[in-house]
Amino acid sequence: MKTWITQTALGLVAFAAVALTSCEKDETRVMLNMGAAPALTASASNAVLRRDDAAKEAVTYSWTPATYGYQAAVAYTLQFDKRGNDFKAPKDIDAGSALTKTLTVAEVNSIFTDLKLPAGTPAQLDVRVKSSVGASVEALMSAATSLAGTPYESREVPKDTWALIGPAGISWDTDVVMTYNFDEKVWTITTDLKADFFKFRANKKWDLNLGALAKNAPSASGPLKTGGEDIKNSEVGNYTIKLKFDEAEPNKSTYTIKKN
């Protein structure tokens, strides 16, 4: 008899515990569902990005407090992504517990470049603010707004600027200016070449020039030396030429040439 009473009592206690837990879970769900995402506003939808204005303010973002149905310490993060990328790979800017964040021209420019958007090309970003109270609670996201801008190249170009020169390009007096590729660390140009000679020279002067190791050497990719011989291009066509200048040891410089 005692055993039956004991089992019954334990069953009632277990049932009450399950019921209480269920109620608590229901209550938690209700309280979380009462939350409201932050609403984001921006002082500008177009950022004017210029290197000379790097320290100036570009845009200020403000947002309403997120609510979770209970008192919580909320942290905010501004998220930026390429237009239409659905924030699959956003650039995050931490805002802490603040309800506003001002970004300088340099900071906005870095966001564009960190998202692999090329300098000098107009682009658009999607922007939203994320609020979170911890890993166990789903973050709340604001509706997205947009930011347009044309990023500038913030990296410094090497002190010597290079060009292709010679009648294969235009003439021995006219430079065909090359562009520095920061990712490959080479000077590059895609241009039409005649069947004639060319060399490379720096800063539109002959003080520093690079040529072939041997006279009448054909235009094949390879090593260069300062004051070297003219390079012979044997076939008319459109070429991509890349010059890798070794600033520490110029005679270790190399070039590649490829017909397109």
What was the pLDDT predicted at 34?
58
Residues of the chain with pLDDT under 70: 1-34
pLDDT tens digits along 71-115: 889 999 999 999 999 999 999 999 999 999 999 999 999 999 999
> Is this structure's pTM higher than 0.95?
no
What was the pLDDT predicted at 195?
96
Q: Which CATH superfamily is domain 40-149 in?
A: Immunoglobulins (2.60.40.10)
pLDDT tens digits along 213-237: 988 777 778 999 999 999 999 999 9
Q: Identify the CATH number of the domain defined by range 162-259.
A: 2.60.40
3-state secondary structure string across the chain: CHHHHHHHHHHHHHHHHHHHHHHHHHHHHHHHHCCECCCEEECCCEECCCHHHCCCEEEEEEECCCECCCCCCCEEEEEEEECCCCCCCCEEEEEECCCEEEEEHHHHHHHHHHCCCCCCCCEEEEEEEEEECCCCCCCEECCCEEEEECCCCCCCCCCCCEEEECCCCCECCEEEECEEECCCCEEEEEEEECCCEEEEEECCCCCCEEEECCCCEECCCEECEECCECEECCCCEEEEEEEECCCCCHHHCEEEEEEC
What was the pLDDT predicted at 155?
86
What was the pLDDT predicted at 256?
96
In the chain, which residues fall in CATH 2.60.40.10?
Answer: 40-149
What was the pLDDT predicted at 128?
99
What was the pLDDT predicted at 221?
86
